[in-house]
Amino acid sequence: GQNIDQPTEMTATEGAIVQINCTYQTSGFNGLFWYQQHAGEAPTFLSYNVLDGLEEKGRFSSFLSRSKGYSYLLLKELQMKDSASYLCAVRDTRGKLIFGQGTELSVKP
């Protein structure tokens, strides 16, 4: 079966660092994506991992361990505008994206 798990919600303080975890079990793997989605808007691409290790992109970093079926998204120097839903998605070998239910992040002052 296909299963992607991530926490339902998290709260963090402005200026802090937050890590959003994602574990997956899928029948095929062709990369893991993180998307940010503000309420009522389309998901926007944040990061992509296909090999093990850390990918850094400004304030956002994403890590992948294929052997453990595990990824995390790290957000540094949190800003109020980072309050959003963060979606972890695995792409299978046919290009289909399988999404988790999303993690609702609230950034407090």
Residues that bind another protein (CB under 8 A): 4, 30-31, 33, 35, 40-45, 48, 50, 87, 89, 91-102
Burial of 82 (0-12, 13-18, 19+ CB in 10 A): buried
Nearest to 94 by CA among 50, 43, 29, 48: 29
Q: Which is nearer to another protein, 14 or 41 (CB)?
A: 41
Nearest distance from C-beta of residue 43 to another protein, angstroms: 5
Residue 44: HSE in the Cβ half-sphere, 13 Å Cα cutoff: 8
Q: Which is nearer to another protein, 41 or 52 (CB)?
A: 41
Q: Which is nearer to another protein, 94 or 109 (CB)?
A: 94
Token digits for 81?
Answer: 């505008």
Nearest distance from C-beta of residue 106 to another protein, angstroms: 14
Q: Which is nearer to another protein, 25 or 44 (CB)?
A: 44
Nearest distance from C-beta of residue 14 to another protein, angstroms: 25
* C-alpha–C-alpha distance, residues 27 and 44, integer Å: 25
Nearest distance from C-beta of residue 16 to another protein, angstroms: 25
40 contact partners, CB below 8 Å, separation of at least 6: none
